[in-house]
Amino acid sequence: MNTLDAQSPEWKLWATGLPSGVYPRMAVAPNHDLFYTLLGTGTNLGYVYKANTSESVGNFQPLPQIPRPPTIQNNIVALGYNINSEPMVGIYRTNIFEPWLFRLDHTTNSWDTAKAPLAPTLGGHCIATSKKGTIYVGTRWAYIYKSTDDGKNFTVIDESKSVKSNHPCYYPTPIGAENDGAIFSINIDPRGRIYAGTETAGIIYSDDEGESWHPADFFACKTHDPNSMDTTSPMRPLTLSGNAAALGFTKENNLVWSGTDMWILGWKNKMAYADLNAKTSTELQGLPDYLVLTGQQVSKIVTTSNGQLFFHSGAGNGSTQVGIYTSRDGIHWNLFNDGITGQNDGLSQGSLAVDGNKVFMATRDGKVWVYEDVAVESESSLIEEIKIYPNPVTNILSIEKGSDSPSPSENITIYNLQGKSMKQINFKNGSKIEINVNDLSQGIYYLKYGKYFKFMKL
């Protein structure tokens, strides 16, 4: 059953007084604890802060300081959790003999150093935890690390070797790399498929808990010559997406991601969508030209339980309309900064987090904002006496209401996906009206007639 949004039309301030700095990090644990930290900050180094998403107002408290090694770079890079809701952090350090991954033991209230047979060159960059509790950590530069004991011990997965074994055409990559470099993002879709965004080899995935890895481009290699890359693949952007820092999913498990090198295709942004059933890929729509200038300006894509997606874009010289974007279908996106009065100025990459239908956004001035996506009536409830056409619509929308329509309302209202009223149409039973929609931005809207709803694509 398809559902629609009837959420409040803006972000609400949820917490203040946190340490300020660039590149906030947030993660929500299974018990609804929300962890917050900063990659870059001049003070309060080595601290993670905790609140709970069930609170009406965020009351963040500091956790014990992590044991920062002497050669640590920045502050905290990766933030995650285990199935017991214990926070985990990854850091960069230049001495490979120093620790790089930590877990807060709830029984001792102290940080333990994770154990692995091989240390990464720089450190931990991203963390994802499956529903069954398996933890995956992407590193720079090394491999994917996997733990099945809540983050105490990790095994090493050579994902480049696995991809090359199954798909020999894939290496060297289009830019000549013999491996995938750093792992800049890891995420797990609702079905359990693990995706990794790499530095030099696009997006790869595993369906067997990391045992084997494959290109997300299903046609990467030629069918009759597995040693040759197929440059005509309709999913080629998945191969070209180096520095792939963000991975997200629609409610239908289709992939949305960010990564460099897609300008080769003539795309003006570095964000894309893959329909994994149709096996195609396309550039995102609704973004201003050159919103995303570098590969890691978007480093988090989140999806509510109802299927509403969000990402936050960082800025560069010449970028316009910077901030939070939202989508229902993963392809059409709209700017959505409404209600935020903090410093949402392009320096808050990676600061989104989601818990069910609550979305949290941290701005660099030590504030956290919340937005709730509330599902209401089903689209299938739309009465048949209303005819709305064409759909998709380009210029003129026709609305025709039958003479025996049971709705008590004489009005049809067009809303954007944030629940904001964009147009209201008034007419009597048995009439037809044509509406010029040229003043609306392209994207997905919904029409409300009484208590009934219908999607419209512009």
Per-domain residue ranges of the chain: 3-376, 382-457
What pLDDT score was predicted for residue 418? Answer: 66
Query: Quick one: how far is CA 109 from the chain centroid?
Result: 31
What pLDDT score was predicted for residue 134? Answer: 98
**CB-based contact 216:180 (threshold 8 Å):** no
**CB-based contact 269:291 (threshold 8 Å):** yes
**Which H, E and C letters describe 202-235, residue by residue?**
CEEEECCCCCCCEECCCCCEECCEEEEECCCCCC
What pLDDT score was predicted for residue 19? Answer: 95
Instruction: Write out pLDDT tens, residues 388-444.
Output: 888 888 899 988 876 555 555 567 888 887 677 888 888 765 678 888 999 998 877
User: 132: which residues sit within 8 A by CB, 6+ positions away?
Assistant: 83
What pLDDT score was predicted for residue 382? Answer: 45
What pLDDT score was predicted for residue 415? Answer: 83
Instruction: Write out pLDDT tens, residues 340-398.
Output: 887 665 566 778 999 999 999 999 899 999 999 875 444 444 445 677 888 888 899 98
What pLDDT score was predicted for residue 317? Answer: 65
What pLDDT score was predicted for residue 451? Answer: 59
What CATH architecture applies to the domain 382-457? Sandwich (2.60)
Residues of the chain with pLDDT under 70: 1-9, 315-318, 343-348, 375-385, 402-410, 418, 428-430, 450-453
How many C-beta atoms surround the C-beta of residue 57 within 10 A? 11
Pick the CATH number of 3-376 from 1.10.10.10, 1.10.3210.10, 3.90.15.10, 2.130.10.10: 2.130.10.10
Tokens 């997905």, located at residue: 444
Question: What is the pTM assigned to this prediction?
Answer: 0.84
What pLDDT score was predicted for residue 428? Answer: 63
Exposure on the CB side of residue 397, measured as CA atoms within 13 A:
26
